[in-house]
Amino acid sequence: MMGFFISTIKKNIMNTKKPPKKPSFSHFFLYWLKLGFISFGGPAGQISMMHQELVEKRRWISEHRFLHALNYTMILPGPEAQQLATYIGWLMFGVSGGLVAGILFILPSLFILSALTWVYLTYGDVSAISGILYGIKPAVTAIVLFAAYRIGSKALSNIILKVLAVLAFIAIYQFGVSFPYIVLATVTIGYLGAKLSPNTFKGTAHQGDKDSSAPALIDDDTPIPDHAKFKWSRLMVFAVIGISMGLLVMGLLDNKVLHTMGEFFTKAALVTFGGAYAVLPYIYQGGVDQYQWLSAHQMMDGLALGETTPGPLIMVVAFVGFVGATAKEIFGPDQMLLAGFVGASVATFFTFLPSFLFIFLGGPGIEATRGNLKFSAPLSAVTAAVVGVIVNLAVFFALATLYHNQQIDWISLAITIAAFIALFRFKISIMGVIAVSSLIGLGLTIFDLWIH
């Protein structure tokens, strides 16, 4: 009997030293479908979920390969968590894997957010919904502040990077400099700084230590699969197909509002360095000021709804597209729901099409240069600038939420402070903070109705 237990233990130990069996495509599909419904918490939470599941639990990819992919997505415009999912799916199953992982990461959010937006537009004046949003909005301000702190505490490792963050904040807040120009300037500074002072602009990349006792399916020394090897012919084919898809869909949009949305969200997709928090001012400028698709008040409500749904926060573009299409009545006053969903779909398609292209076009080159992280200095500079831009966004939210008629809303201020303490001190999840804040807002509304 003792020999049986010893042999069983030895067998289990030996099994841990073997890479796991490659999952079937259906198993792979179901995992990403599940993640699409539970990917709350913004990019940090989503990346953490993928790391825990794919690196630690399932061992589909090693720590080093996971971080190498993450480093690449961090320097790309667009949502890094969705691009990371696409990269890992592409590495495992080629283009079909990348499409499944990337699309399922956002598809549930599109339908859920569209449904919530329709409810919001239909019943937005109902006291219960207004009360819930009243509680969520100051919590969103705290979440953005906490995002600035979380990124800044890791990225601003020296005085030069801190100065860059301050300068970026001044540029966008005081002078209204567009974020793409800030990115271009900081990339140039990082590139020059890498030559003049390499230690100042030390890369943010990490080198994972290989755990020989638990090899992954795609391990540190696993050869690059054939579909991930760089070929000029393959690059040209992907470029032609991707650009043709964008032009084809754009050509089919004979409605002027939808065509304008396609152009605008394509531009937004190409300047979303630093994630959704950093690009929201650009979307605000276009959606609210330039095209009048929605009001500033609705933009805040949209971000609050985006925080409560799974998927990347940049999915707030679906809210903007939905509200804009209904406000402009693109299909007439009797087809508002259809108009809204088409607007949301157009915004989502053109926002995420470049993300897939960046992975399918750039992934082979990144795999071929694994270990060579010469882009880390410009990345560090951009990350520093992103901190300043996020602080600007927090100021924008605070002014929109905490001040009414030149007076401080003390209740909203208290919710903001409590939400920040919950995130910072007690490590409460974003969804937990959102849930409690919404209940507070609902309770205050019910109490106000009761006393009146």
Establish if 346 belongs to a structural domain: yes
Establish if 296 belongs to a structural domain: yes
The pLDDT tens digits for 171-213 are: 988 998 877 788 789 889 988 888 888 778 765 444 444 444 5
Establish if 209 belongs to a structural domain: no
Which residues, including other chains, have CB under 8 Å from residue 138's CB and lie 6 or more apart? Answer: 401, 402, 412, 413, 415, 416, 419, 437
Into how many domains does the chain fold?
1
Establish if 163 belongs to a structural domain: yes
pLDDT the model gives residue 86: 97
Establish if 354 belongs to a structural domain: yes
Please give the angle made by the CA atoms of 259, 265 and 267, to the nearest 5 degrees. Answer: 105
- Please give the residue range of the domain that contains residue 271: 25-204+231-451
Inter-CA distances, 319 with 121, 335, 390, Å:
11, 17, 21
Which comes out higher in pLDDT, residue 59 or 303? 59
- For residue 254 the two structure tokens come to 């004979």
pLDDT the model gives residue 145: 85
Mean pLDDT of 429-441: 86
Strand residues in 35-107 grouped as ranges (E):
none
Which residue, 430, 390, 385, is CA-closest to 148? 390
The pLDDT tens digits for 270-282 are: 876 656 666 777 8
Establish if 168 belongs to a structural domain: yes
pLDDT the model gives residue 60: 94
The pLDDT tens digits for 139-165 are: 888 887 887 787 777 678 889 999 999
Establish if 224 belongs to a structural domain: no
6 pLDDT more than 60:
no
